[in-house]
Chains A and B, each alone.
Chain A
Amino acid sequence: MTSVNPAPPAAPVAATATATATEEAATPPSATAPPAAPWSALVSAALLGTERRTPPVVVRPGRSAAAALLDAAAVSTVRRRAGLRPALAADRPAPAPDDPRPVIPPAARRRLALLLADRGGTGGSSRRGAAPDLTELLPQWLTAAQAHGYRAPEALLPALLDAARARTDLRPAALALAGPRALWLARFHADWKFALRATDARAAPGAEDPGAVRRLWDEGLFAERVALLTAVRRSAPDAGRELLADTWPTEHAEDRLLFLDALREGLSPSDEAFLEGALADRSRTVRATAAELLSMLPESAFAARMADRAHGCVTLVPGTAGPSGPRIGVAPPRTCDEGMRRDGVTAKAPAGRGEHAWWLGQLVEAAPLRRWSERFGGRAPEDIVALPVADGWRTELHDAWCRAAVRQRDPAWARALLGAPGAAPEDTGGASGGSSRDPAKLLTVLPSGERAAWVAGFIAAHGLADAFRMLGVCAVPWAEPLGRSVVDALDIARDAGSYPWSFSGVMGLAERCLDPAAADRLDMLTAVTDEPEGASPGAGGYWAEAFQRLVGTLRLRATMLAELADPPDPGSPAEASAPGVPPVSGTG
């Protein structure tokens, strides 16, 4: 075989690449080589086959046409590849806006990478094992990072956007940390469009552009309009109400309900007239919502009407001498008249409730709490709550006051109704129907320190069994003595010999909410103890594991927060470059 393959390809290829570097049809400089056929001619010859078409190549003696075609195609292929020309650059995207915030410190950056990497692990949320559950720590980390005014490192933005996409509760904090670079990025990826929507709502036209507001209100989609109304209410409550009032008669009933609900934001006495009008709405749920909002305005005519009705039913019966002091007498309304119905009182009681008691509850719930003091001779809330109630109406009356205290955000009444945390919860009058009150809701009305102290007292007296929801409304990290009382209660539960997963809810909360400083105190609990008499088999080991996990999580949280608090190291060149300056090459 005398063919010059394969060594020679280097020659024309080299010529193409280094000298001409142009079209594939360029003539190779070698005089012995035949003029090369264009690639497309070779491809069509190959498609048809050399049997049917003589290929546009020179066939040397002793070689088949097919081999000659392959020879030519090989030379052409290498030549085309070696002579590849750059493509014409498409329109470059406008650079992302600068984010002047400092990037998170290096240690916190590593932490965030770990928290995001752990996301979505199938076994990750198991309540077993001694290792912390990182997924549950991400929300805390984001909140803390946001409080420091940091921005996220660019390399983690895709993972952060993915996390925010999967968990809507993370979105506000994740997007705030991610900043304008993430929004810039989200434009290019269909999965991340949510980020643009989320910020569109926030970036709704403000009061300074009434024309744009009006246009969006008149033409926008329902969700956009709700977001717009909420935004306008936040900055200019009256303008928001007027916007709604203009189109009110033409809105659908379901839409009216949600629009009305948006008026909670910035609710004030100037909304009263509009709400009074809504009491005559065709839809029952709209009427009920209007009544509820009006009851949050203690000076309103509606509140006064409700107070009059309630006061007519609940009276102070002066005490006679001797053991029977003054008490509260209750005479529930006999009928649900037209006026009551117009003011949002629901006439039909739910199954199992007497309609008189049902009406009474609604009246008391909507009546302003402040006016009960005048009604009861200037008594303070705790004194009123302490008054005996006649004829077994205590539970009904107190439950209604509880709802009113939550609705009217009245700490004095909430405090009085909660009573002492150590008091037995059953000690609420022993009504047969049982109380529907929710201490966790009442607690939200109290300042956070007082809230924690009350829950601590409750746990010390009653243990953890009913404490889960109350713990959930306490501020993080748990203030003392709350943390200590939770730990003590867990220790007691272990000594009682039950399995730790009976307390997994509280354990999980404790991991996220206990002050990390409590870790050292907890260390001694991580040892495997001798199982007490009658304990569930193996419980001791599981408890030790659960406490290890608790301590481990607390330590991790302490580390996490310390990492965020670290000021960026001024000595590190990585951090020294000003934000927004693109990295430049040339250091190597």
Chain B
Amino acid sequence: MNSQGERWTTDQVLALAPDEASRRAGGRLAGPGPWSGAGADGDGVWGLCEGSGRTPYRAVVDLTGPAYRCSCPSRKFPCKHALGLLLLWSGGGDAVPSGAPPPWADEWLTGRRERAGREATAPPEGGPPARATADAEPTARRAARRAARIGAGATELEQRLEDLLRTGLAAADGAGHPSWDETAARMVDAQAPGLASRVRELGALPTAGDDWPSRLLAECSLLHLLDQGFLAVERLPPPLAATVRTRVGLTTDTAELLTGPEASPVRDRWLVLSQHDTDEGRLTARRIHLRGERTGRMALHLSHSGGGRPLEPTLPPGLLLDADLAFHPGARPLRAVLGEQHAPPVQGPMPSGCGIDAALRAYGEALCDDPWLDSWPVVLADVTPIPADGESGWQLADADGESALPLDPRALPRPGLWRLAAISGGHPVTVFGTCGHRGFLPLTTWDPEPVPL
């Protein structure tokens, strides 16, 4: 056993795979056969993997990152060798004995630790602070110019929405209106990506079904509310103003959040509740939900990969991090960036949770602060999944009582739904997910190990 005492689970390792093919390829390398000289210490795992070449590939994993290095030419990250090595290690047994790293692994691992140490003590990047002051004046001018452009965009969008309401939704697809895509492009020109994506979603709303006018009006009105908010942003209380700016598409400098003058990171033992990757065109977005043990706060860590950039960090559900999280400003802070980790992650407990009524209340209360929230993360305890039957769809119901939540339709095509039903077997379970106006979207359950859904 390594000094850390905790090996990751197979699920945790598989969650690192960049795609299905790597997952399979890694699985095939998870036996002791191709490996030699494998070993692990508290923070690293290494091994030589017999491949098609004459020299075996050298794979090293830094568990604290995690970060990977392998001498193979693969562009996948982590490559199948690193995955296979981790799977072998996670399987326990003697295949990966503990020991000191060989020189080739040690060099890299030590180099990484030294760099990490430097970064923790020195101000980030060394140079930027000086440049930042020098650039302060133009930055402010740039910001003002951008705000003006967004304001113009918001005004134009308001006009578009009012036109729509004047002629009526029934005529929405008729001539006279520019298409939503054109309007979205105008918002991109106005440097308001948040407005643009909301406009695109208006265009993507299905015009079928009895309730499409209702849904269209609801989304239009919330977009209108956002426009109005931005146009009056100076008069809003600062937290709500921050929410509006973020939703319109102005980004926050994450380095500022952690180390800037107003940084107020929250240190807690954060339990990873879920990690989910979604394909967003050329990018893959990773959403990691966490909950603080002491503060009870929910947090969402969002990262992107694309253009060869790997998805980092990787935090499989069930890990408990003693770490700093810095929340993005807002009336209802949720999104956060990960700061310093004070200890290596350990295996956390199964989370406590609430019932259906409390989950809806949590969403309602969150809406009071941020009316644009589609959902709010909650852990439900003692709920029974009820599979769809005839006309009634899938539900999660309190183990006792009459309350139930319909499942979000987006959950239905996912295989995880069946894992949830299988684990429940008609008995109550604990489920983490997001509770919103479209229903509940399950993300993780416990059997009692965390199982991603």
Question: Would you give the shortest CB distance from A132 to chain B, in whole angstroms?
Answer: 6
Give the interface SS of chain A, mostly helix, strand, loop or mixed: helix
CB neighbours of B422 from chain A (8 A):
154-155, 157-158, 181-182, 185
CB of B222 within 8 A of CB of A89, answer no
Contact A124 B33 (CB under 8 A): no
Across the interface, do A90 and B395 meet the contact criterion of CB distance under 8 Å? yes
Known contacts A17-B361, A85-B360, A131-B28; A548/B50 CB under 8 A: yes
Partner of B214, one of A39, A50, A563, A587: A39
The B-contacting residues of A in range 555-588, CB under 8 angstroms, are 555-556, 559, 563, 573-574, 577, 582-588
A-side contacts of B353, CB under 8 Å: 585
State whether the Cβ of B213 lies closer than 8 Å to any Cβ in chain A.
Answer: yes
- Flag if B367 contacts A81 (CB, 8 Å): yes
Tell me if A175 counts as interface (CB < 8 A to partner B).
Answer: no
B interface footprint on A92-119 (CB within 8 Å = 1, 0 otherwise): 1111100000000001011101110110
Within the complex, what minimum Cβ distance (angstroms) separates A376 from chain B?
55
**Is the Cβ of A74 less than 8 Å from the Cβ of B421?**
no
Q: Is A83 an interface residue (CB 8 A)?
A: yes
Interface residues of B in 1-45 (CB under 8 A from A): 9-11, 14, 21, 23-25, 27-34
From B164, B228, B404, B436, contact of A90 by CB (8 A): B404
Q: B79 to chain A: closest CB distance in Å?
A: 14
Closest CB in chain B relative to A582 CB, distance in Å:
3
Q: Are B90 and A110 in contact (CB under 8 A)?
A: yes
Q: Which residues of chain B have C-beta atoms less than 8 A from A189's C-beta?
A: 418
For B374, the closest partner residue in chain A by CB is A81
**Whole-angstrom distance between the alpha carbons of A159 and B34 in the complex?**
27
Stretch with Cβ within 8 A of A (4 or more), from B121-129, B131-139, B322-330, B443-451: B443-451
Interface string of B73-105 (1 = CB under 8 A from A): 000000000000001001111010000000000
Interface size for chain B: under 10, 10 to 19, 20 to 34, or 35 or more residues? 35 or more
Residue of A nearest to B331 (CB): A10
Interface residues in A, total, Cβ within 8 A: 102
Contact present for B24 and A559 (CB under 8 Å): no
Whether a CB of chain B sits under 8 angstroms from the CB of A229 is no
Q: Which residue of B lies closest to A581 (CB)?
A: B427
When distances are taken between beta carbons in the complex, the residues of chain A under 8 Å from B148 are none
Assess whether B426 is in contact with A184, with CB atoms less than 8 Å apart. Answer: yes
User: Among B62-70, B107-115, B167-175, B336-344, which stretch is in contact with chain A?
Assistant: B167-175
Q: Does B162 contact A (CB under 8 A)?
A: yes
- Residues in A with CB closer than 8 Å to B50 are 130, 548
Separation in Å of the B106 CB from the closest CB of chain A? 27
Q: Which chain B residues in 330-357 approach chain A with CB under 8 Å?
A: 348-353, 356-357
| Closest Cβ neighbor of A12 among chain B residues | B368
Pick the contact of A49: B170, B231, B425 (CB < 8 A).
B170
Q: Mark B345-388, 1 if CB is under 8 A from A, else 0.
A: 00011111100110011011101110100000000011010111
A51 is an interface residue with CB less than 8 A from chain B: yes
B224 is an interface residue with CB less than 8 A from chain A: yes
B402 within 8 Å of A (CB atoms): yes
In the complex where A157-B422, A583-B429 touch, is A13 in contact with B397 (Cβ < 8 A)? no
CB of A89 within 8 A of CB of B386, answer yes
In-complex Cβ contact of B387 among A83, A93, A154, A554 (8 A): A93
Of all chain B residues, the one with the shortest Cβ separation from A184 is B425
> A560 — nearest CB in chain B belongs to which residue?
B31
Cβ-closest chain B residue relative to A16: B364
CB atoms of B271 and A89 under 8 A apart: no
- What CA separation (Å) do A90 and B235 show in the bound complex? 47
Q: A5-B228, A87-B405, A92-B384 are in contact. Are A48 and B168 (CB under 8 A)?
A: yes
Please name the residue on chain A nearest to B406 by beta carbon: A87
Any B CB within 8 A of the CB of A380:
no
User: How does the 8 Å CB contact mask read for B382-415 relative to A, with 1 for contact and 0 for none?
Assistant: 1010111100100101100111111000000001
A67 to B397, CA, bound (A): 40
CB neighbours (8 Å) of A139 from chain B are none
B212-257 interface with A by 8 A CB criterion: 213-214, 217-218, 220-222, 224-226, 228-229, 231-232, 235-237, 240, 244
Cα(A69)–Cα(B162), bound, Å: 9
**Interface: B202 (CB within 8 A):** no
Task: Decide if B30 touches A89 in the complex (CB within 8 Å).
Answer: no
Is B191 interfacial (CB-CB < 8 Å)?
no
Least CB distance, A453 to chain B, in whole angstroms: 29
Look across to chain A and name the residue whose beta carbon is closest to the beta carbon of B354: A585
Q: How far is the CA of A280 from the CA of B423 in the complex (A)?
A: 57
Min CB distance, B406 to chain A, in Å? Answer: 6
Whole-angstrom CA separation of A118 from B356 in the bound complex? 37
Contacts of A21 in B (CB 8 A): 361, 364
Question: A70: CB under 8 A from chain B?
Answer: yes
Complex CA gap A441/B250 in Å reads: 76
Q: In the complex, which residue of chain B has the Cβ closest to the Cβ of A11?
A: B368
Is B419 in the interface zone, CB < 8 Å from A?
A: yes
A-chain residues with CB within 8 Å of residue B421 when the two chains form the complex: 185, 188
Minimum CB distance partner of A40 in chain B: B214
* Residue contacts A-B, CB under 8 angstroms, 8 given: A47-B170, A64-B166, A70-B224, A70-B225, A71-B225, A78-B225, A154-B423, A157-B419
Q: A10-B368, A95-B426, A548-B50 are in contact. List 6 more A-B contacts (CB 8 A).
A: A70-B162, A86-B402, A86-B405, A90-B386, A96-B426, A585-B446
Chain A positions near chain B (C-beta within 8 angstroms): 1, 3, 5-7, 9-10, 13-14, 16-18, 21, 39, 42-43, 46-52, 64-67, 69-71, 73-74, 76-78, 80-96, 107, 109-111, 113-115, 117-118, 121, 124, 129-134, 153-155, 157-158, 181-182, 184-185, 188-189, 528, 545, 548-549, 551-556, 559, 563, 573-574, 577, 582-588
Closest 4 CB pairs of A and B: A552-B33, A49-B168, A95-B426, A17-B364
